[in-house]
Every structure is written in C-alpha cells, then in structure tokens.
Amino acid sequence: MEVAHGITIDEKVRFGRPVIKGTRVPVDLVLGKLAGGMTYEEVMSEYELSKEDILAALDYAAKHISGEEVKAVD
C-alpha cells in the first residue's frame, strides 16, 4: 500500500516498515545514512535509489513527525 508519494508499506516487506516504493530500502535507513554524513549521491549509489526516492523519504519523515507532540524533559 502506498502511504505517501514514493513510500509503501507491506507487511511482507521489512516487517511492514515504510520503504522506498519498488525497493526493500527502509525510509529510516535512508534518513540515518544522510544524518550520518553520506551525500545524496553516495546513498543513491549504494542503494540504487534516485534523488526523487531520497526526497520522498525526507518528505515522508517530515510529514510524519510534524504531527508529533513534543514535551520538554526536565
């Protein structure tokens, strides 16, 4: 099932985690690689993704966390 542009969820693929459409590459893996310092080009090359795939992962993550309620921890 496509849950966002370019992002799908299927219980039979990666235990239902959101992945890049047409792949088994999880959104959180893409985000983690970028956060760890990899460039778009490095991620694209290593996981055979397009720039649009990476942007779809970033867009999905941004929309997903925009609804989260954040509370300060003392």
pLDDT of residue 25: 97
User: How many angstroms from the chain centroid is the CA of residue 20?
Assistant: 7
Tokens of 16: 């239902």
**Beta strands in the chain, from DSSP E residues, in sequence order:** 2-4, 7-8, 19-20
Contact 54, 34 (CB under 8 A): yes
Domain ranges of the chain: 2-66
| CATH class of the structural domain 2-66 | mainly alpha
- 68 versus 35: the higher-pLDDT residue is 35
Sign of CA dihedral 28, 31, 35, 40: positive
pLDDT of residue 73: 78
pLDDT of residue 68: 67
> Where do we find the tokens 């989260």?
68
pLDDT digits (tens, 9 = 90+) for 18-50: 999 999 999 999 999 999 999 999 999 999 999
The pTM for the full model equals 0.85
